[in-house]
């Protein structure tokens, strides 16, 4: 029996395992219920009493050595299989920073420009009634903008509900709830039933402005538009106003700015005219003031409106309006440095 103990000790010294499964198999083989060391203890019970003292000590030493060896094998394999702890002293992996959407950036810039001259922010619901979108703004019942080809109606009937086609509805709500003087800027998303193309979309964003007070003139309107154009496109920018028509303003005008690409000399962006259209504007029609319970004999005012996508396209020479709505990270990443 002594020779068996010595042979197992020598074999134990060279014991190895490639994985935890092999380590478990070795544990069963050596110290399990049917293991070789357990068998030796069973044999130890049958030997003569005078020999037990000589064999007991080496047998216990073999058992202890086997337990320590098997435990060390299992510990080493467990540590090797475990994931390596994070070393927080090492530099971290760089993560790309996000950026504001170009439409959000331009919208915020427009609001900030007008805020410098005293305009406050006003917002309203995107789902509106006919009164705030059309009737209160001097749209007659037969006006083409009421047609289904232009407007998304949610519900027809005596009191139609629709998706607003412009943020002028917010101006109506302000005039109904606030006495003059009024100086507000109204940004928001609007909807029109149009075919989606490189230059048009059924969803877009507007910023409209309204100023009502005593003795407000068209000269004040021109100065406000000129100030905005130069702050947005540069101090060398020129403007021109062309007569136009809107139901809620009289007189009305379209505003062009000198092309900031060619300096007014003519290029493909401005179609070789030297001018780029940016907004519509005009003096608030007295009928609109009266409808909103503002005395048109005492107060006058002007309003203007522009498409945010249009301003962004001119600012960054983006040719396709659809790019702003596709959430293509490759496109949006180009504007990270503009924030």
What pLDDT digit, counting tens, does each position of 77-90 carry? 787 766 656 677 87
**pLDDT, tens digit, for every residue of 118-162?**
999 999 999 999 999 999 999 888 877 777 668 888 887 778 899
Give dist(CA 307, CA 278) in Å, integer: 8
> Taking residues 64-75, what's their average pLDDT?
83
Structure confidence at residue 68 (pLDDT): 86
**pLDDT, tens digit, for every residue of 304-319?**
999 999 899 888 888 8
At 63, list the tokens: 């058992």
Task: Identify the residue with better confidence: 252 or 145.
Answer: 252
Give dist(CA 339, CA 336) in Å, integer: 6
What top-level class would CATH report for the domain 102-338? Answer: alpha beta
Structure confidence at residue 126 (pLDDT): 95
Q: Is the confidence at residue 256, as pLDDT, over 90?
A: yes
Give dist(CA 166, CA 202) in Å, integer: 12
Structure confidence at residue 265 (pLDDT): 79
Domain boundaries, the chain: 2-81, 102-338
Give dist(CA 69, CA 78) in Å, integer: 14
Structure confidence at residue 168 (pLDDT): 94
Q: For residue 230, name the pLDDT band (cuts at 50, 70, 90).
A: very high
Structure confidence at residue 317 (pLDDT): 81
| Cβ proximity of 113 and 133 under 8 Å | no
Q: Is the confidence at residue 112, as pLDDT, over 90?
A: yes
Give dist(CA 145, CA 166) in Å, integer: 11
The DSSP 8-state label assigned to residue 214 in this structure reads: T
Structure confidence at residue 83 (pLDDT): 61
> Taking residues 64-80, what's their average pLDDT?
81
Give dist(CA 288, CA 304) in Å, integer: 15
The angle at the Cα of 253, spanning 121 to 299, to the nearest 5 degrees, equals: 55
**pLDDT, tens digit, for every residue of 5-63?**
777 878 878 888 888 888 888 888 878 888 888 887 777 778 777 777 777 787 778 78
Check whether the bond before 87 is cis (ω within 30° of 0).
no
Q: For residue 184, name the pLDDT band (cuts at 50, 70, 90).
A: very high
Q: Is the confidence at residue 272, as pLDDT, over 90?
A: no
User: Exposed, middle or buried by CB within 10 Å (0-12, 13-18, 19+), for 147?
Assistant: exposed
């Amino acid at each position: 029996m002594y020779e068996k103990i010595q042979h197992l000790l020598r074999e134990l010294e060279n014991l190895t395992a490639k994985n935890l499964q092999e380590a478990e198999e070795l544990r069963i083989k050596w110290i399990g219920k049917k293991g070789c060391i357990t068998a030796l203890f069973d044999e130890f019970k049958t030997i003569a009493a005078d020999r037990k003292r000589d064999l007991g000590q080496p047998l216990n030493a073999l058992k202890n050595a086997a337990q320590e060896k098997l435990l060390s094998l299992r510990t080493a394999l467990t540590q090797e299989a475990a994931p390596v702890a994070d070393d927080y002293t090492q530099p971290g992996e760089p993560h790309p920073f996000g950026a504001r959407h170009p439409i959000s950036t331009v919208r915020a810039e427009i609001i900030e420009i007008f805020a410098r001259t005293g305009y406050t922010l006003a917002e309203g619901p995107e789902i509106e009634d006919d009164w705030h979108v059309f009737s209160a703004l001097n749209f007659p019942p037969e006006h083409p903008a009421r047609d289904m080809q232009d407007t998304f109606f949610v519900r027809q009937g005596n009191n139609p509900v629709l998706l607003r086609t412009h943020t002028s509805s917010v101006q109506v709500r302000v005039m109904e709830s606030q006495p003059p003087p009024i100086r507000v800027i109204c940004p928001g998303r609007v909807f029109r039933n149009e075919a989606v193309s490189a230059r048009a979309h059924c969803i877009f964003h507007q910023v409209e402005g309204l100023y009502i007070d005593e003795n407000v003139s068209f000269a004040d309107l021109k100065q406000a538009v000129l100030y905005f154009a130069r702050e947005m496109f540069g101090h060398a920018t020129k403007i021109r106003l062309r007569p136009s028509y809107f139901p809620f303003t009289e007189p009305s005008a379209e505003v062009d700015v000198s092309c900031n690409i060619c300096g007014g000399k003519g290029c493909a962006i401005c179609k070789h005219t030297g001018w780029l259209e940016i907004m519509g504007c005009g003096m608030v029609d007295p009928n609109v003031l009266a409808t909103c319970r503002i005395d048109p004999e005492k107060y006058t005012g002007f309003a203007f409106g522009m498409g945010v996508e249009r301003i962004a396209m001119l600012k960054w020479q983006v040719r396709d309006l659809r790019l702003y709505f596709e959430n293509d990270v490759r496109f949006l990443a180009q504007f990270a440095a503009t924030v």
